[in-house]
């Protein structure tokens, strides 16, 4: 068997939607862009959605729209994909890491206040693996210290915290649509916000800083080409039409893995917080402390050799080579993040995975971890 870690689900209808755009002259800034943005805004329950060419671009535009820059600090998590922190560096601000909660794997809210200084401008929290962060507490802290609150919901389309959709918390949030996310546009991302200024500035900056309604070659501010094509948006629209089905199918797969793994005493299956609804992005188990990072890596290799796509979600951001070089971080700086990340294994997880494939994964997984214990 050869089972990938992730795989987009593409239907005949998805393909037709893309072909239909190719029969029109509007390949960019056309009707599919607006339609896609409308669907995302409605689904998330926010006033504005601004679609761009990646989740990273979306994060960058939020940081810029909020005027976060040189000399500012942004409190965030080291247990994430690199761009939730890089977007802060893009603008010359400094990411200040706070270690995670060992259960939810999201930023440890009780440790945030001690990291706040007079230079702190914002909190940027991530809904890791599709599990919403503690938005109630985060909103409290942001409002008490007068900080912007940014939601990296790139992995959490469809998740909820206390009945509200992920992406709708704080000043602005993002979703991302790379092919391993809940829905895909090939490449793409979107800013979701109730803040009119963030929406207007993001729209302008994604399109070279043009003003609204301005002539094509009039530029009001520094901007970028972060546009997403209507071809990508058509795929996004088609995928959004079955978002509920996708979210529940993924929950079903996670539940099925939980069942199949329940008697494996050497691991911990993913914990879900009681205050939210998870929208499953990946299925990540944790080996217990009798395993070292080296053993985990050997297990990953062995699983790959058996045709099982797997990965070590995530490598801590502060230990990435250029973060170490630039900020002097070293192992031991964020022990919970490091401990967790040295024992994670993401198993194959995608809408169309079959029961037979999951049995193959779990069967080999059990065999391999017992061999290398
Ligand atoms: C995927 C992801 C992003 C970035 O999205 P891209 O579209 O790949 O740029 C940002 N943050 C997190 C947590 C992600 O998982």
Whole-prediction pTM? 0.97
User: Which residues, 6 or more positions from 105, have their beta carbon under 8 angstroms from its beta carbon?
Assistant: 79, 128, 129, 131, 340
94-97 vs 73-76, strand pairing mode: parallel
Nearest ligand 1 atom to alpha carbon 127: 13
Write out the chain's pLDDT in tens, 373 residues: 899 999 999 999 999 999 999 999 999 999 999 999 999 999 999 999 999 999 999 999 999 999 999 999 999 999 999 999 999 999 999 999 999 999 999 999 999 999 999 999 999 999 999 999 999 999 999 999 999 999 999 999 999 999 999 999 999 999 999 999 999 999 999 999 999 999 999 999 999 999 877 677 889 999 999 999 999 999 999 999 999 999 999 999 999 999 999 999 999 999 887 778 999 999 999 999 999 999 999 999 999 999 999 999 999 999 999 999 999 999 999 999 999 999 999 999 999 999 999 999 999 999 999 998 7
CATH 3.40.640.10-classified regions of the chain:
12-98+105-240
User: Which residues, 6 or more positions from 127, have their beta carbon under 8 angstroms from its beta carbon?
Assistant: 106, 133, 151, 152, 153, 155, 156, 159, 166
CB atoms within 10 A of CB 304: 13
Residue range 243-372 in CATH 1.10.287.130: no
Three-state helix/strand/coil letters over the chain: CCECCCCCCCCHHHHHHHHHHHCCCCCECCHHHHHHHHHHHHHHCCCEEEEECCHHHHHHHHHHHCCCCCCCEEEECCCCCCHHHHHHHHCCCEEEECCECCCCCCECHHHCHHHCCCCEEEEEEECHHHCCCCHHHHHHHHHHCCCEEEEECCCCCCCEECCEECCCCCCEEEEECCCCCCCCCCCCEEEEECCHHHHHHHHHHHECCECCCCCCCCECCCCCECCCEHHHHHHHHHHHCCHHHHHHHHHHHHHHHHHHHCCCCCEECCCCCCCEECCCCCEEEEECCCCCHHHHHHHHHHHHHCCECCECCCCCHHHCHHHHHHHCCCCCCCHHHHHHHCCEEEECCCCCCCHHHHHHHHHHHHHHHHHHC
Q: At what angle do helices 230-240 and 243-261 cross, to 10 degrees?
A: 60
Strand-pair partners of 296? none
CATH 3.90.1150.10-classified regions of the chain:
243-372
Residues within 6 Å of ligand 1 by CB: 54-56, 80-81, 83-84, 126, 152, 154-155, 176, 178, 189
Angle (CA) 296-298-299 rounded to 5° is 65
Identify the architecture of domain 12-98+105-240 in CATH: 3-Layer(aba) Sandwich (3.40)
Distance 63 CA to ligand 1 centre (A): 15
Please pick, among 32, 121, 165, 181, the residue that the annotation labels catalytic: 181
Measured by CA distance, the residue closest to atom 5 of ligand 1 is: 55
Q: What is the pLDDT of residues 292-329, one digit of tens each?
A: 999 999 999 999 999 999 999 999 999 999 999 999 99
48-52 vs 189-193, strand pairing mode: antiparallel
Distance 264 CA to ligand 1 centre (A): 31
Nearest in space to 351 (alpha carbons), one of 3, 6, 2, 87: 6
Q: What is the pLDDT of residues 176-198, one digit of tens each?
A: 999 999 999 999 999 999 999 99
- Cα separation, 32 vs 182, whole angstroms: 20
Distance 141 CA to ligand 1 centre (A): 25
- In the annotation, is 181 catalytic? yes
């Amino acid at each position: 068997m050869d089972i990938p870690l992730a795989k987009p689900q593409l239907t005949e209808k998805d393909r037709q939607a893309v072909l239909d755009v190719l029969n029109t002259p509007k390949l960019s800034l056309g009707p599919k862009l607006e339609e896609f943005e409308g669907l995302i805004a409605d689904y998330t329950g926010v006033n504005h959605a601004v679609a761009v060419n990646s989740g990273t671009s979306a994060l960058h535009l939020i940081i810029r729209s909020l005027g976060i820059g040189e000399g500012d600090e942004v409190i965030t998590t080291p247990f994430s994909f690199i761009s939730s922190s890089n977007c802060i560096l893009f603008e010359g601000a400094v990411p200040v890491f706070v270690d995670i909660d060992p259960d939810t794997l999201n930023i440890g809210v009780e440790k945030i206040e001690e990291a706040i200084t007079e230079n702190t401008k914002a909190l940027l929290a991530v809904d890791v693996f599709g599990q919403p962060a503690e938005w109630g507490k985060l909103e409290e802290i942001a409002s008490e210290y007068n900080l912007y609150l940014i939601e990296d919901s790139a992995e959490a389309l469809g998740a909820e915290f206390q009945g509200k959709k992920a992406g709708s918390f704080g000043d602005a949030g993002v979703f991302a649509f790379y092919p391993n996310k809940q829905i895909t546009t090939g490449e793409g991302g979107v800013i979701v916000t109730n803040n009119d200024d963030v929406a207007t500035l993001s729209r302008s900056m994604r399109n070279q800083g043009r003003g609204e309604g301005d002539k094509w070659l009039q530029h009001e501010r520094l901007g970028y080409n972060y546009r997403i094509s209507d071809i990508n948006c058509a795929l996004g629209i088609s995928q959004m039409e079955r978002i509920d089905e996708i979210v529940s199918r993924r929950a079903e797969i996670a539940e099925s893995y939980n069942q199949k793994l329940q008697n494996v005493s050497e691991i911990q299956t993913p914990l879900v917080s009681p205050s939210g609804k998870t929208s499953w992005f990946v299925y990540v188990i944790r080996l217990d402390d009798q395993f070292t990072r080296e053993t985990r890596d050997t297990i990953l290799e062995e699983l790959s050799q058996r045709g099982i796509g797997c990965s070590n979600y995530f490598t801590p951001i502060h230990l990435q080579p250029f973060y170490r070089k630039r900020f002097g971080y070293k192992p031991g700086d964020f022990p919970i993040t490091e401990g967790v990340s040295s024992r994670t294994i993401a198993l194959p997880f995608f809408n169309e995975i079959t029961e037979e494939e999951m049995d193959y994964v779990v069967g080999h997984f059990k065999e391999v971890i017992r061999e290398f214990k």
